[in-house]
Amino acid sequence: TSATQTQFRALDAWIDEHSWALCQLLAPDDEILFGEWLYAMHSIKYTRLPGYFIAFDIFSKRTNSFASRAHFRERMAELPIPIVRTLAERPFGSAAELLALLDERSAFADGFVEGA
C-alpha cells in the first residue's frame, strides 16, 4: 500500500488523476484493469515511458475471463491510459521467425524488447 511502500504513493495520485477514465472503462464490481506500475527502479532503464502505469488487460470477475486483444484495444482507445504494444498477431512459420521478434527495439527503453 502507499502507506507502507513509497513507490506506491505516486499511484494514489495517478488513480486520482485517472479516476474519470477508470470509471468510464470498468464495470463496477466486475472488471479489473491489469497493468504494470513502473514508478520504481527496474532492471531495464525505461527512458520513453508514456506514463508510470501501462495497461495490458481487462479481467471480468463475472465471466472469469480476460478481454480479447481487439476488445481491450477498442475499449482503451479513447482513454488517456497507455497500453502495451502488441509485437505480432499472426501465425509464425517457424521458431526462428518467432525468435526474430527478440531483435525488435523496445517501445519504452533504449534496448531490445522486454524479455529478450
Alpha-carbon distance of 116 to 112, in angstroms, equals 7
User: Domain segments of the chain: what residues?
Assistant: 6-103
Alpha-carbon distance of 42 to 54, in angstroms, equals 14
pLDDT digits (tens, 9 = 90+) for 64-94: 999 999 999 999 999 999 999 888 889 999 9
Q: Which among 12, 85, 19 has a CA at the least distance from the CA of 54?
A: 85
Alpha-carbon distance of 82 to 100, in angstroms, equals 25
Alpha-carbon distance of 33 to 86, in angstroms, equals 17
pLDDT digits (tens, 9 = 90+) for 95-114: 999 999 999 999 999 988 88
pLDDT of amino acid 114: 80
Cell numbers representing residue 3 in the block? 502507506
CATH class entry, domain 6-103: alpha beta
pLDDT digits (tens, 9 = 90+) for 24-62: 999 999 999 999 999 887 788 889 999 999 999 999 999
